[in-house]
Amino acid sequence: MTPRVFIGAGAGFAGDRSDAGGPVVDALAKADGPRFLIYETLAERTLALCQLERRKDAGRGYSPALERMLSPVLARCLEGGVKIVGNFGAANPPAAGKRIAEIATSLGLRAPRIAVVEGDDLTGRMSKAELAARETDGNLLVQARDIISANLYLGARPIADALDQGPDIVVTGRVADSALALGPLLHVFGWRADDWDRLAAGTLAGHLLECAAQITGGYFADPGYKDVPGLAEVGYPIAEVDADGDIVITKPSGTGGIVNRLTVIEQLLYEIHDPAAYLAPDVVLDLNPVEVAEIGKDRVRVFGARGKPAPETLKATVCIDGGVLGEAEISYAGPNAAARAQLAAEIIVARLRQRAPALKVRVDAMGATSVLGASDRLPDLSAPANDIRLRFAAQSADAAQIEMLLDEVEALYCAGPAGGAGVRRHVTPRLASASCLIERRYAEPRVTLLGAAA
Amino acid sequence: MTRRVRLQDIANARAGDKGNRLNIALVCRDPKDYAAIATQVTAERVAQIFAARKPTRVVRYDLPKLAAFNFVLDDVLEGGVNASLGLDGHGKSLSFMLLDMPVDVAARAQAPT
């Protein structure tokens, strides 16, 4: 039997469950072959916020999800020979490495060998004008005052190089999500840099895993049409990949969820544009020849990916200040609720027309049980609703204008229609992001081994 | 013999975003329905369904080996997750706007219950 590499997904985004990695680690520890647990925790916004945090404190700026995700699995990974690869580094991969070492110490574990991948951060290396000249689909950067973050998507090679040094954990900043899986495969199988079909297969494995539960029944269930057993305890996926790039997607036994042709194809096409050209740093993946076959319970084989030479440029995401988003909500319920809600919306529009004429305000009306429900039972969604919750939203570089909107909504309590209830107000700083295509010479990946005590 | 069903009865859909661009993957539950869906769920029809969001371009990519289609709709997310004033800046709910479309299929096709 050809050797297989086992790659499990511990999280598909920073807000993901932190207890899902456990069953994946338990399954991986029993697997007969090299095994890896990957974590994707880096949204565009997360990275920019981390960069701001690093500016304030040079010891911070790594993913806020690091501690929550790794603490429950670190001991079992070190015991079971499961290597962890994650982009927890965000804006400060060395600080993430140090933090992981501290977590291991605090848990009484042996000192893990930690490899840190850097070189994705372009701030300080490219000016705003240089980035602006490379922006695709827009001209946000020309008008921007200040760049908050600018990060290239590194490929799988630096991750493979890091694994070649024998660490227990590889922590990166921005890498292509799929590289989290392709890196371990390059490390184990030694695929050549121009072995396009295998690189494509490894990229596909990473793409299938990168949103974790989205291939095992998450983002899928539609009761009566697409039922998923045990969704509350959905198992996160494991990919078994052989030296030719043949993939089997499965999940830990005893977990909820489902892996079948349909869950796999939905994820295969998730966030895809032209299926013939899925651009990754290491290869261009062609999904057209890919086939999917159910080969057992919760086991789906995915094969046939073809690759084309890697793009000449690398994608980078650049974040700039996007002002603030303000949101305020108020409810009207019971008889004539719709008319009272309508009146409230008209009052806000009229008030702002006078006081903030340039502010664009969106109004949503939602309704099932926003205020007439109860705290000791689930809402009865089969009953007709007469409970409307208005939401007002606006965005501005001028925070005072946003506060004015929120104040106007709150003032509806006393000065608006009868029965206005449950005002909530939120202000969220916003980031705007631009995509750039950057020449490869700007990528300077480097690997550092920390805590080489063991 | 054909009968009219809702797309939700015979196909799966999943929405994803990149900036201000939305993709919706549409997968036939029974590959036998591929031809009927290919004929009826055209890029033009999908552009009509999402007309209120003013797409600047709608492209359908066909994946016959998967009995699936990929629709790409440009500029329909009010600027995307970082700019939209709406709650669903990702467009994650929009797959169900497509699934509401009526289609005619061979009479054998049954909605799962």
Establish, for the pair of chains A and B, how many residue pairs have beta carbons separated by less than 8 Å.
95
Residue A163 has pLDDT above 50, yes or no: yes
Residues of chain B neighbouring A224 (CB-CB closer than 8 A): 112-113
Residues A82 and A208 in one domain: yes
Position B84 in a domain:
no
Looking at residue A380, what is its pLDDT?
A: 86
Q: Tens digit of pLDDT for each residue in B29-47? A: 999 999 999 999 999 999 9
Residues A259 and A169 in one domain: yes
Position A33 in a domain:
yes
Position B110 in a domain:
no
Residues A216 and A348 in one domain: no
Report phi then psi at A229, rounded to 5.
-75, 140
Amino acid at A56: K
Contact between B9 and A225 using a beta-carbon 8 Å cutoff: yes
Residues of chain A neighbouring B12 (CB-CB closer than 8 A): 220, 226, 262, 265-266
Q: In this structure, is the dihedral angle defined by the CA atoms of residues A381, A387, A389 and A390, taken in order, positive or negative?
A: positive
Position A144 in a domain:
no
Those residues of chain B that have pLDDT short of 70 are: 108-113
CA dihedral A196, A201, A205, A210 (to 10 degrees): 40
Q: Tens digit of pLDDT for each residue in A111-153? A: 999 999 999 999 999 999 999 999 998 889 998 988 999 999 9
Residue A325, both tokens? 């988003």
Looking at residue A454, what is its pLDDT?
A: 40
Q: Tens digit of pLDDT for each residue in A421-442? A: 999 999 999 999 999 999 999 9
Position A443 in a domain:
no
Paired strand residues for A121: A151
List the domain range (segments joined by +) for residue A350.
321-433
For chain A, the domain total comes to: 2
- A251 to chain B, closest Cα gap in Å: 21
Report phi then psi at A436, rounded to 5.
-130, 155
Q: Tens digit of pLDDT for each residue in A311-329? A: 999 999 999 999 999 999 9
Residue A268, both tokens? 């295969």
Choose one of A311, A329, A351: the last residue of a domain.
A311
Looking at residue A381, what is its pLDDT?
A: 87
Q: In this complex, is the C-beta atom of B40 within 8 Å of any C-beta atom belonging to chain A?
A: no
Which CATH number do you get for residue A332?
A: 3.30.70.1150
Per the prediction, chain A carries an average pLDDT of 96
Residues A303 and A387 in one domain: no
List the domain range (segments joined by +) for residue B10.
2-77+89-105
Residues of chain B neighbouring A431 (CB-CB closer than 8 A): 82
Strand A169-172 with A82-86, pairing: parallel
Q: Tens digit of pLDDT for each residue in A247-284? A: 999 999 999 999 999 999 999 999 999 999 999 999 99
Cα–Cα nearest to B73, from B45, B38, B101: B45
Position A438 in a domain:
no
Closest by Cβ to B29, choosing from A224, A262, A270: A262
Residues A212 and A305 in one domain: yes
Residue A71, both tokens? 């603490």
Residues of chain B neighbouring A395 (CB-CB closer than 8 A): 83, 85
Q: In this complex, is the C-beta atom of B42 within 8 Å of any C-beta atom belonging to chain A?
A: no
- Cβ pair A450, A105 in contact under 8 A: no
Residues A288 and A184 in one domain: yes
Mean pLDDT of all residues in A77-97: 97
Residue A265, both tokens? 């194809």
Q: In this complex, is the C-beta atom of B10 within 8 Å of any C-beta atom belonging to chain A?
A: no
- B37 to chain A, closest Cα gap in Å: 16
Amino acid at A251: K
Residues A246 and A354 in one domain: no
Contacts of A163 (CB under 8 A, 6+ apart): A83, A85, A115, A170, A183, A184, A187
Residues A329 and A298 in one domain: no
Q: pTM above the 0.90 mark?
A: yes
Residues A305 and A409 in one domain: no
Which CATH number do you get for residue B69?
A: 3.30.1360
- Alpha-carbon distance of A294 to A119, in angstroms, equals 40
Position B111 in a domain:
no
Position B37 in a domain:
yes
Contacts of B100 (CB under 8 A, 6+ apart): B6, B7, B8
